[in-house]
Amino acid sequence: MENILIEALKNKYRFEYKGLINVEDLFDINLEGLDQIYRDLKKVENDLQSDSLLDANENPLKKETENKINIVKNIFEIKVEEIEQAKIALAKKAQREKILAIIENKQDQELSEKSIKELRKIYDSLL
């Protein structure tokens, strides 16, 4: 992937999406947008396929299109992973907050079970 990105930057690859965008802009596009770019590139790739025996020379656009497809696919996978990690982090945060609430509730319950004498002693120690 690193070599493809270097080549993309060196050759100033541009992607068609509401105008022309560069590689960095791909990270700002949602999954549906990346999927649209991917499908458009696959159409271009199919159009570049040659079934002719006379076309022995490799079309330079073919390699660029393949690289663009790989870039979009990799960025899509990165974004999917980031979304999954965010969901996991959110679930963990919710679980931690729930546990803290239960701990506070149990502490309150434990405190309410103390005698008046014990409560006054605790209260006086806080002054």
Q: Is the pLDDT of residue 48 over 90?
A: no
pLDDT of residue 53: 56
Burial class for 19, CB neighbours closer than 10 Å (0-12, 13-18, 19+): exposed
Mean pLDDT estimate for the chain: 90
pTM above 0.75, yes or no: no
- Residue 92's CB is within 10 A of a number of other CB atoms, namely 10
Rounded Cα–Cα distance for residues 65 and 48 (Å):
9
